[in-house]
A and B are shown apart, each in its own frame.
Chain A
Amino acid sequence: MSRSHATRFLVILVILTAAALLLPFAANRGLVFLAGVIAINVVLGLAFNLLFSTAGLLSFGQATFSASGAYAAALLLLRAPEVPFLAVLVIAAATGAAIAFAIGFVALRRTEGVYFAVLTLAFAELVHVIIAKTSFFGRNDGLTGIQRPRIGPLDLAQGNAYYVFVILVTALLIAVLWWVTHSRLGRSFRAVRLDPMRAAFLGIDVRRRQLEAFAISGACAATAGALMGPLTSIVSPDLAHWGESTKPILFTLLGGAGHFWGPLVGAIVFSAVEYGTRSLAGASDLITGGLLLAVVLAIPGGLLGLATLGVRRLQARPAAPSEAALPLAPAASKGETL
């Protein structure tokens, strides 16, 4: 990883974090709350994209990981309030990693594109059904009355304290995901994605790398999910529904899978659209669906892909070679082997 790369990433992360932390001074309480939800969603999107664009695995069961983190944290907060919250987050991460490992262990027997996606979807739906039917998990009503915790002397229930905490933890998770993506490990993930056979020839244990990517993604998603319960005071089986698994995919493709920040842009834009239709009766399905369709069809490189293209066009006149139109190239080139 080049130093200038890292510096640029840190500058962007600091600016974004600062902006998020300043938001309560400028925005309505609803928007501040929404910003907390979006921050969590950004991590879910980035964790998905670590699998998708870096490791070349299309996971359709990400909700399992975020929900497992949410439920692990909620159970600990409700049943074992003496466990410090930072430890709760670590346990949630471990739970997510373990479940991701277990599902990955089975599902990675079929790594080709849609097969793998469908296997993860099937397991995710099984987990959803189990949560909704088990009284230990509160069944359909979920686990309610989750308080915002204390961290040592800090009471996160006060004012915007929990929001600030969410922003800081998600910023940390984003940094972790960036580091993984650009570390040696991330490079070996990419090698596996581009050519598993050659990677194996070079001595990389392909299946092990893929499992590692899966576990890291699961741990990050679970930690982000763990933040959800105290935010809304409830965790419910909806968190594990397959509709929730589609969201990180949407964020990623909307923002641009070929860019690290793509899922962030996608999560913000998607939430903005949802927020925009919040007082609209009857048409939100059509609008959300139509918009998504339009983005996928018109700008398959995602919003950041479009922006990069625009910038390159401006920089390099006469017209840039058509290669520039493919920030999507890494994804596209995966083709059959994905």
Chain B
Amino acid sequence: MSKLNRRAFLASGAGAALALSANPRIVVGQTNEPIRLGVVTPLSGPQEFIGSFVKNGAEVAVDLINKAGGVRGRPLALEFRDEKANPAAATTVARELLGMGINLQLGTIASTVALAYGPLMQAENGINLTCGAGSEKINHENYSPHVFRIGDGTYRMRAQARMMAEKFPDVTSWTGIIPDHEYGRTVWAIYVDGLLEFYPKITGKQPQIVDPIIVPYGSGDYRNFITQAARTEARGIVNATYGGDAATFFQQARPFGLFNNRILMDVANEFIVANALKTQVPKHWTGTHWYYGASASPIGESFYKAYVAKTGNKMPMGWAGEAQAAVAAYAAAIAKTGSTETKAIIEALKGLSYDTVTGARTIRAEDNQAIKDLEMIQIEPDASAADVGFKVSDYVKIPGAGVIEPATPGQAMVLRKSS
């Protein structure tokens, strides 16, 4: 039965009632029942901090959509589950949600969980929209039609490299502070790829890549690595350490003046390090999933207001925006097809262009990776900024289309390497 036929069939009174009782989630618009979305995100453990933004962001996004009349007249409702950053626990709750008829899920953060969801969602006929899992395998080696990365892909590192080439054409020697973790290695490899492409293109100079400093994950003492870094001849440093590790590293690096005469590009800490170090934070650039102050779109502005009203947090971090983008993706897809069925939604999501907090984004049909604007901010210490101790002093937006890697679902990414 084609979609159209089925809708016509369902519209004919008795038939509709029958079909709906058999499977209540086939067609939208015939009822006022809420459409339930599952949010599986870290609500405990080391990644709870990120999960808290995903949770609030998803709630605010749903509130705004419901206030505006819902999707095809039906409100959205969220069902939260704890990812526990553990594939077995995350799989359990994803299956539970699927068993409850909630086939549309979002919020994954841990790469291992996102990678486990591919086969699961395929076998159990569900969809997951990851809100920040960093592995490049998600849209390459381990591509699954049932998993979408609706936010920044790994190509954000290429955007960050491009921005550096544009802003600092003279800083041609680069090294990295890279955590000894799959995530860190991926980030460094793609950043190098970006440097090798964009420096020659934009500045006409070949960048010099200095071996990165590999640092342990979750350490209380980075001084050996800081003294190592202080000796580097590189003028630019990209930092991939994260959260408490990054704050510790920057804090211990201060007496060594490591960042005084160098350009520091931070991968993804947004405000985490700045919030911790306040006036002691070194001047640096950082990538964000969404910078609230950019006012990139009307949705972004109303989302920000509602977010502050709900949480009191005036400096929300980018994952809140990724959660909004995930909720909005489902809303747009459901509105487009009029169905919540997995197959129809996958079809609708592929190639979907829709509006989010960061402006328009398009989901690339071949590998389910969103193409969006990449946002970078510059942070510098500011003693006059009441109790925050820092300010955002610059903002750059790089369109995703010019930096995204080619789609190669099922195959590894091919990257440029320094000789």
A interface vs B, CB < 8 Å? 28-34, 37, 132-133, 139-142, 144-145, 147, 157, 228, 231-234, 236, 238, 274-275, 277-282, 284-285
Residues of chain B lying within 8 A (CB to CB) of residue A29? 95-96, 98-99, 124
Nearest B residue (CB) for A143: B115
A145 to chain B, nearest CB (A): 6
From A31, A145, A281, A285, residue with most partner B Cβ within 10 Å? A281
Residues of chain A lying within 8 A (CB to CB) of residue B124? 29
Instruction: Check: B359 CB closer than 8 A to any chain A CB.
Output: no
For chains A and B in complex, what number of residue pairs have CB atoms within 8 angstroms? 113
B72 to chain A, nearest CB (A): 27
- Cα separation A238 to B88 with both chains bound (whole Å): 10
- Cα separation A81 to B126 with both chains bound (whole Å): 27
A280 to chain B, nearest CB (A): 7
From B55, B92, B123, B182, residue with most partner A Cβ within 10 Å? B92
- Cα separation A133 to B82 with both chains bound (whole Å): 27
- Cα separation A238 to B52 with both chains bound (whole Å): 22
- Cα separation A141 to B180 with both chains bound (whole Å): 12
Nearest A residue (CB) for B79: A279
Contact B91 A157 (CB under 8 A): no
Contact A141 B95 (CB under 8 A): no
Contact A234 B96 (CB under 8 A): no
- Cα separation A84 to B97 with both chains bound (whole Å): 33
- Cα separation A277 to B95 with both chains bound (whole Å): 16
Main secondary structure of the interface of A (DSSP, over half): helix
Residues of chain A lying within 8 A (CB to CB) of residue B115? 141-142, 144-145, 234
- Interface members, chain B 74-117 (any A CB < 8 Å): 79-82, 85-89, 91-100, 111-112, 115-116
Q: Identify which of B88, B91, B137 contacts A144 (C-beta below 8 A).
A: B137
Contact sample, A vs B, 17 pairs, CB 8 Å cutoff: A29-B99, A33-B96, A140-B111, A140-B181, A141-B115, A145-B119, A236-B87, A277-B82, A278-B82, A278-B93, A278-B96, A279-B79, A280-B82, A282-B43, A282-B52, A284-B44, A284-B82
Q: Identify which of A34, A228, A234 contacts B112 (C-beta below 8 A).
A: A234
Main secondary structure of the interface of B (DSSP, over half): helix
Contact A281 B92 (CB under 8 A): no
Contact A281 B43 (CB under 8 A): yes
B147 to chain A, nearest CB (A): 12
Instruction: Check: B259 CB closer than 8 A to any chain A CB.
Output: no
Contact B80 A279 (CB under 8 A): yes
Interface size of B by CB at 8 A reads: 41
Residues of chain A lying within 8 A (CB to CB) of residue B43? 279-282, 284
- Cα separation A34 to B96 with both chains bound (whole Å): 9
- Cα separation A153 to B182 with both chains bound (whole Å): 38
Q: Identify which of B95, B142, B182 contacts A145 (C-beta below 8 A).
A: B142
Nearest B residue (CB) for A230: B119
Contact B87 A234 (CB under 8 A): yes
Contact B99 A233 (CB under 8 A): no
Residues of chain A lying within 8 A (CB to CB) of residue B86? 238
- Cα separation A98 to B79 with both chains bound (whole Å): 45
Residues of chain B lying within 8 A (CB to CB) of residue A140? 111-112, 181-183
A234-B98 contact, Cβ under 8 Å, with A157-B123, A281-B43: no
Contact B55 A37 (CB under 8 A): no
From B87, B100, B120, B181, residue with most partner A Cβ within 10 Å? B87
Instruction: Check: B48 CB closer than 8 A to any chain A CB.
Output: yes
- Cα separation A145 to B55 with both chains bound (whole Å): 28
Nearest A residue (CB) for B181: A140
Contact A279 B82 (CB under 8 A): yes
Known: A32-B95, A141-B115, A145-B119. 8 other contacts (CB 8 A): A140-B182, A145-B142, A278-B82, A278-B96, A280-B82, A281-B82, A282-B48, A284-B43
| 6 nearest A-B residue pairs (beta carbon) | A30-B96, A28-B99, A29-B99, A140-B182, A30-B95, A233-B119
B56 to chain A, nearest CB (A): 10
- Cα separation A278 to B119 with both chains bound (whole Å): 22
A226 to chain B, nearest CB (A): 14
Residues of chain B lying within 8 A (CB to CB) of residue A234? 87, 112, 115-116
- Cα separation A33 to B93 with both chains bound (whole Å): 9
B60 to chain A, nearest CB (A): 15
Instruction: Check: B176 CB closer than 8 A to any chain A CB.
Output: no
- Cα separation A269 to B135 with both chains bound (whole Å): 35
From B52, B91, B118, B180, residue with most partner A Cβ within 10 Å? B91
